[in-house]
Structure 1
Amino acid sequence: MRKLFMLAILCLSYQLSAQDYFLEKFKPFNKEVPSPEEFLGYGIGERHTRHDLIVAYFKKLAEVSARASFAEYGRTHEGRILSMLTLSTPENLSDLPSLKAKHLAFTDPAQNVSNYEEVPVFINLAYNVHGNEPSSSEAALLAAYTFAASESQEIQKYLSNAVIFIDPTINPDGRDRHTQWANSYQGSPLVADPQDAEHDEYWPGGRTNHYWFDLNRDWLLGINPESRGKLNWYHQWYPNVVTDFHEMGSQSTYFFEPMKANGSLDPIMPRENYIDLNNLFGDYFAKALDSIGSLYFTKEVFDGTYPGYGSSYPDLQGGLGLLFEQASSRGHKQTTPFGEITFPFTIRNQFTSSITTVRAAVENKALLRKYQQDFFKSALTRATASRVKGYTFGEAHDQNRLKAFVDKLLLHRVKVLKNNDGSYFVPTRQPQYRMVQTVFETYTRYRDSVFYDASAWSLANFYNISYTAQNREVSGAPVTSLEDFVKFTPAQRSDYAYLIDWDDYNAPAALHFLQSKGLVLSSSFRPFTSQTKRGNKNFHFGTLLLPVKLQKKNAEEVFAILRETQEKFQVPVYAVESGLNLSGVDLGSRFVRPVEPPKAAMIIGEGVRSYEAGEVWHLLDTRVHMPITKIPIRSLKGADLDKYNTLVMVSGNYSFDDKLFGKIKSWAEKGNTLITIGTASKWAIDKKLVKEDLIEEKKDTTAVVERKPYADAGDNLGKESVGGIIVEAELDLTHPLAFGYQKERIPVYKNNTVWLAPSKNAYATVSKYTQNPVIDGFITDKNRDEFLRKSASLMVSPIGNGRVVMFADNPNFRGSWYGTNRLFLNALFLGNHINVPK
């Protein structure tokens, strides 16, 4: 078998007609429709194809073939087109609105249709969510051509019985980053040496999008335009089958579902999905790959429980999500222990699985339609049987954070009602019941304990939204739009001062905007009650003061800027005419301190965790609209750090020499703020930059080691990692890092084993995990009892005249943790005012 596999790979080392290699089976082709090779000027697999050429080819197919139509469903951060090519018979395309209505009837529990065989099956072939896993987009070109031009009876049958949506590149920004790299380093002749630059992209690589987000984790979170565009498209069509094509390490073969048995069990998913349907389709893929001599495996790895993958989100919508993983050539040709793996070989496997997916769906369309219908009907049945009839939630102090949460519910087509008292209610009895469960329910018991990714995803906790399960339904007005969601009273003019509530999520963005306009503001480090033009109001820690007479602009100009700020960020603003407060400190108090504009930089580059760096960049770019200088490690020695008052170090492997370490240390000692996250906090302690400790396992050298099966080592050791859980932490609400919070206890996301020992300084531990910390997700008893319960989540340690703000956990995880973003932003805006008592 190994010889056959080597032969299948080695036969690709010489140039052969790429078109025949892929397409021989589906001849003849309509000569009026250009093949990818004819359009591009090179054979598929000879080069990596730029995204703009893929889009151009799809537009050409829609122009010349009556079987194809082209649509744009969004744009990326960098402005690239997100495209969808729809393929079917000309008759089906002309009747698509009617077919769509018939198709959607199966997703409506109120309709009892049974014409399962009459309506074409809807299939979404989706490719290249990870930009540096490029074989699938090349396969998309071949699939599009095949369905648009092949005259074979097999393809004609598929077109008659299916509507096929091809999304060739889910992550165009990342793909083009990788394409440029691979084509730039392509040799002639090709270089198969794995150490060649072609096979080793520079940081951050093409896997991620513009802000270095992994878009295959973003289906549930819906943070990026790529995902939001796709989700809006998805909920218009609800395809029966969705593919999710990937690549993995070069030393492997090919994977298709079923996934590992103990990682497939989902507490809210019908068993038919991950058992019956996956096994049914798996048989098709096995036969197809057998026919071309490719090796593969199933069931050994990957889990589908996290609902944010491209292969799992469709499962929550009554469809079948299918994961494929192809061993990557990481360029055009690479040596492996099995021989040389080439780009064309990887493409052929993906192309074969694409066509096979359509075949399996067409031959089982009645089964898929009945399954989707039963899925949505069972949602109502299960909701009716549950004692929980809905969830009530609200947020009195932060309307913009609440708005972001409701936006996420609406994005997933979850029904939301507004109650008369201003709170909100999400009924469980609705077609999106399983999505409601995903948002609100928490789990601490799982069949499996080794997760490929997160084991916790209750979205309400991401937003720090307090909610209550209800055992009866509550009536209210449906929320259908976020327009005018935030209710704020326009500020009245004052010649004395204005107060801006720091509790609102957008307050840091408003502060930066005002500072960028040349205004000077202060922050109150004590609460107070003030008589405003709108009546008496209690103001909390962090309230911003904008004194009119201290500005270089006149009162009218100040008011105009303030009104612009309020319109832009919808934050509460209050006019006052006196600095004498009704209670608490007065506006001229020494506890009301000027806020210095942040001048922030962040270390990036090889060794730095690009996901976390991208999350910081994204937060400041898209929500605070504040620039941050990104300094590559290779440039750090020559960088002038004195230009900045804040430096961010996210998780990573930092190996600075003594000179560079000393440079960072002396910069912080001058009175600046170093913010460390995750393993960067561990680095600060290990390198004795701060006088703090880690909680580490104490090895018992006298204990007898229990003998265990070698085959279980991976699973046993994997349990000790913390893949992603939601835990409860307790804040010191008087600390500047906690300004803007009203509740001492907040949900925090933990996906590492950084255990910070609470500081010996009584005033330095800002946040500590509670004694019953686990809200959602899997953690071993050992990690929970010996480490988590004893650890701090956030501390500040002095260093000379400066300070190191140490996060054990990532407050900006995947751009979705609105509930902890404020901790990080407080470190940026208020860090210079934190002087830890000694």
Structure 2
Amino acid sequence: MIKKILFAVMFITAQLSAQDYYFKKYHPFDPDVPSPEEFLGYGIGEHHTRHDLIVAYLTKLAEVSNRASIHQYGKTHEGRKLVILTVTDPNNLANLSSIKEKHLAFTDPNQNVSNYGVVPIFINLGYNVHGNEPSSSEAALLTAYTLTASNHPEVLNYLKNGVIMIDPTINPDGRDRHTQWANTYQGNPLVADPQDAEHNEYWPRGRTNHYWFDLNRDWLLGINPESRGKLAWYHEWYPNVVTDFHEMGTQSSYFFEPMKDNGSLNPIMPKENYVDLNNLFGEYFAKSLDSIGSFYFTKEVFDGTYPGYGSSYPDLQGGLGLLFEQASSRGHKQKTAFGEITFPFTIRNQYVSSMATVKAAVENKETLRKYQQKFFKSALSNAAKGRIKGYSFKDFYDQNRVKAFIDKLLLHKVDVYRSGDGFVVPTDQPQYRMVQTFFETYDKYRDSVYYDASAWSVANFYNMKYRPVNNLNLGEKVTDLNGLVEVTPVKKSDYAYIIDYDDYNAVAALNHLQSNGLVLSSSFKPFMAKTTEGNKSFNYGALVVPVSLQKKDADEIYSLVKQAQQKFKVSMFAVDTGYNIKGIDLGSRYVSPLTEPKAAMLIGDGVSSYEAGEVWHLLDTRVHMPITKIPMRNFNRADLDKYNTLVMVSGRYSWSENQLKKIKDWVSKGNTLITIGRASKWAIDKKLVKEKLIAEEKDSTKTVERKPYVDAPENIGKEEVGGVILKVDLDTTHPLAFGYRDQTIPVYKNNSVWLAPSKNEYATVAKYANNPHIDGFITEKNMETYLKPAASLIVSKLGGGRVVMFADNPNFRGSWYGTNRLFLNALFLGDKIRVPE
């Protein structure tokens, strides 16, 4: 027996010693809890660990340790589990519901609890939101093992005074895409040459999720299931500290907060957060990294101005969000200016920072508790000081867009009430700062160079007509989405059905009916019809389903129409005559039959995976329409004649003359090319169309002013358009603008593509307004020289076809419900655009 015990101890010691590079200081470990190396069969850092193995290991820890429990909070687009391992003292774990109740009391501004040092602090360690920044998920395994197995007095103190919630992989789909790549090309011996395939992933790379979205920009927008699941979890627990672990360029070192100053003139997050708490925690991180000889930097970059990061969203929820950036090995080992950087080295820095975060949170739990309580109480006091008492909004014509906007408000626990025929959001609520984020706009800033967007007023994303109110008329509180869209069931007709095209979901209904074999027409002029529900006025674009002209019988047609209405909640009407009360009749030449779109999109090296993913996501998840994704490497042999619409998003299209001719010939046959952002600039530069860009006139006689070299990055950077919301004047009679009632709508600009208005007086669909600024930073030079004279959307004739050119991205981050319709109209109505000579 003694020999067996001795053998077991020696075996365990041998297992641990191989990984002592990471956690030597936390011995002794419980031999009944398997180390990551023992469970996986290889040491952390020797390979990239698949997400299913990460989940399996954390599940094993929850099975064998009385300190841990595991919870699934969602699934990814590809069906991978999103999990959180909660680790704390066994007594805390057994009474977690009670502790949670006491913890949440600090988030209720109407309670006055003062047991700051009694309730364990809640810490959320979040890892790997960018899939090809993999070191942090490996560090998550080491952290989970340390907290569940170590019997070191320091760790036991953490468990007694903290509840640590480990989210090992926020982006499992992207991580596994990168893991597969890195392990596939891993050499033996390892290849450190930066040019090796292991260090150079193929497009779209593993940074993004299934639809190529950057999930670190999705906390505010909540488009993807990964983010929605995490937000639901977040608002159940309100952790005091949240980590956000990343990687950056191989030649760098290590970054931790404090960040560069917030770019907002008056940030809505308390100064105590981004000054006092960040500096307090920064001292812990510096000490821990100093102890292992790692170099680092702070304050220079990575501003937290945009509220949708994993490191900034918690700052608007009474917590402390913490960003970490580790120089990446982009594989298992890579050469740098200082020698070689290895995967284990990157993992150790992330692990050390994880444990330092726990230490800092536990040792300052009273400070963090007081801060969280003060945060939510100040929300009410700040709201009380303001003249604005709420924001009202409504849209009579587009209930589904309003519903989508309310869904976003409810996702962030913002209180919404019915008020008359619309809705109102009061400022007097715990989520006052989120109300500010949704509705407030700014034109003055402290800084001019941003790591990301400088504009994010979400109401403008949805083209929501809202206004501040000083007197509230609160009706029923909206608690869910039920009943927000009400449509009268369509009655059966043997003549025709008319579908209101003003609703956001009308395009999805159109696609549903077309894909089921029906031919629909679009009205190019308004009219008033006598429907079975009474007289009804219809706007540009109203869809007509003629019954007698279909290949299906009246009963089949009615069944499909009802099905589309029930699925998409769009207003539909039956009519018994084509003779209208006002305007054109249903048999008019202005009621044109629509061709079902057969769409393709170019993807691959040189193409913006973000913009391509936004198109794919829009069509997949909201329109339910397939789009063929053609890799650039296959372009030469692709048969474009199978399609009537081709999408080109921003990118570098380095094509030969023959390839360019292939595009020209295809469009000239009567097809539609849709270009977005830099692809529109490309179309002009390559003389695909007879349009022009606005360029600054160079004055060769002007004396160049000498400036300090050190200021170059700031001076050059501020001229970039990082993200601004602007007003455009829209021609609502144009097919691309069908479904819009307002001639002025917001658009999002994050590029320097300046389209000159077309020389054809009928081809400029959207032009920037005379006073275009709504929200965000833009220099006076960009505003006056480029923006004000420019167009946002033009159509140019090419042979028998046309090129629809967007200067701005109408599908930005899957959130621009207000401009999605412009893009969808280009897909479904593009071939009906006749550009007059």
TM-score, normalised to structure 2, is 0.98
Cα offsets for 1:265-310 (capped at 9, x unmatched): 6521110000000000000000000000000000011110100000
Q: Could you say which residue in structure 1 is the equivalent of 2:757?
A: 758
Q: Could you say which residue in structure 1 is the equivalent of 2:776?
A: 777
Q: Could you say which residue in structure 2 is the equivalent of 1:359?
A: 359
Q: Could you say which residue in structure 2 is the equivalent of 1:308?
A: 308
Q: Does structure 1 residue 676 correspond to structure 2 residue 683?
A: no
- Comparing 701-710 and 310-319, the one that deviates more: 701-710
Q: Does structure 1 residue 585 correspond to structure 2 residue 584?
A: yes
Q: Does structure 1 residue 722 correspond to structure 2 residue 721?
A: yes
Q: Could you say which residue in structure 1 is the equivalent of 2:735?
A: 736
Q: Could you say which residue in structure 1 is the equivalent of 2:6?
A: none
Supply the RMSD in Å over aligned alpha carbons.
0.9
One-letter amino acid of the counterpart of residue 774, structure 1: H
What is the deviation of 1:71? Answer: 0.5
Kept in 2, the 8 Å contact 1:768–1:791? The answer is yes
Q: Could you say which residue in structure 2 is the equivalent of 1:3?
A: none
Q: Could you say which residue in structure 2 is the equivalent of 1:27?
A: 27
Q: Could you say which residue in structure 2 is the equivalent of 1:409?
A: 409
Q: Could you say which residue in structure 1 is the equivalent of 2:811?
A: 812
What is the deviation of 1:551? Answer: 1.2
What is the deviation of 1:478? Answer: 0.3
Matches of 1:347 and 1:318, distance apart in 2:
29
Kept in 2, the 8 Å contact 1:266–1:305? The answer is no
- Comparing 636-645 and 484-493, the one that deviates more: 484-493
One-letter amino acid of the counterpart of residue 329, structure 1: S
Q: Go from structure 1 to structure 2 and tell me whether the alpha carbon gap of 1:18 and 1:713 turns closer, same or farther (over 3 Å shift).
A: farther
SS for the counterpart of 1:790 is coil
**Percent of residue pairs bearing the same amino acid type:** 72
Cα offsets for 1:668-722 (capped at 9, x unmatched): 0000000000000000000000000000111111111111111100000000000
Q: Could you say which residue in structure 2 is the equivalent of 1:434?
A: 433
One-letter amino acid of the counterpart of residue 245, structure 1: F
Q: Could you say which residue in structure 2 is the equivalent of 1:9?
A: none
Q: Could you say which residue in structure 2 is the equivalent of 1:571?
A: 570
What is the deviation of 1:757? Answer: 0.3
What is the deviation of 1:472? Answer: 1.8
Pairs within 5 Å for 1:191-590: 191-261=191-261, 263=263, 267-419=267-419, 421-590=420-589
Pairs within 5 Å for 1:3-22: 18-22=18-22
Kept in 1, the 8 Å contact 2:16–2:35? The answer is no
Matches of 1:551 and 1:835, distance apart in 2:
26
Matches of 1:819 and 1:261, distance apart in 2:
32
What is the deviation of 1:821? Answer: 0.1
One-letter amino acid of the counterpart of residue 668, structure 1: V
Matches of 2:641 and 2:556, distance apart in 1:
33
What is the deviation of 1:194? Answer: 0.3
Matches of 1:709 and 1:517, distance apart in 2:
65
Q: Does structure 1 residue 837 correspond to structure 2 residue 833?
A: no
SS for the counterpart of 1:637 is helix
Count residues in correspondence. Answer: 823
Matches of 2:80 and 2:234, distance apart in 1:
19
Pairs within 5 Å for 1:41-190: 41-190=41-190
Kept in 2, the 8 Å contact 1:246–1:323? The answer is yes
Kept in 1, the 8 Å contact 2:265–2:444? The answer is no
Q: Could you say which residue in structure 1 is the equivalent of 2:637?
A: 638
What is the deviation of 1:260? Answer: 1.2
Kept in 2, the 8 Å contact 1:602–1:629? The answer is yes
What is the deviation of 1:474? Answer: 2.1
Cα offsets for 1:5-33 (capped at 9, x unmatched): xxxxxxxxxx9954111111101100000
Matches of 1:808 and 1:602, distance apart in 2:
18
What is the deviation of 1:264? Answer: 7.5
Matches of 2:262 and 2:40, distance apart in 1:
45
TM-score, normalised to structure 1, is 0.98
Q: Could you say which residue in structure 2 is the equivalent of 1:600?
A: 599
What is the deviation of 1:122? Answer: 0.2
Cα offsets for 1:165-217 (capped at 9, x unmatched): 00000000000000000000000000000000000000000000000000000
SS for the counterpart of 1:636 is helix
Kept in 1, the 8 Å contact 2:262–2:304? The answer is no
What is the deviation of 1:543? Answer: 0.3
Cα offsets for 1:223-251 (capped at 9, x unmatched): 00000000000000000000000000000
Q: Could you say which residue in structure 2 is the equivalent of 1:697?
A: 696
SS for the counterpart of 1:369 is helix
Matches of 1:261 and 1:793, distance apart in 2:
32
Pairs within 5 Å for 1:615-630: 615-630=614-629
Matches of 1:206 and 1:558, distance apart in 2:
45
What is the deviation of 1:771? Answer: 1.0
Kept in 2, the 8 Å contact 1:264–1:304? The answer is no
Matches of 1:360 and 1:374, distance apart in 2:
20
Matches of 1:196 and 1:604, distance apart in 2:
23
One-letter amino acid of the counterpart of residue 650, structure 1: V
Gaps of 5+ in 2: 1-14
What is the deviation of 1:485? Answer: 1.5
Q: Go from structure 1 to structure 2 and tell me whether the alpha carbon gap of 1:22 and 1:468 turns closer, same or farther (over 3 Å shift).
A: same
Matches of 1:216 and 1:262, distance apart in 2:
18
Matches of 2:487 and 2:627, distance apart in 1:
30
Matches of 2:194 and 2:559, distance apart in 1:
61
What is the deviation of 1:770? Answer: 0.5
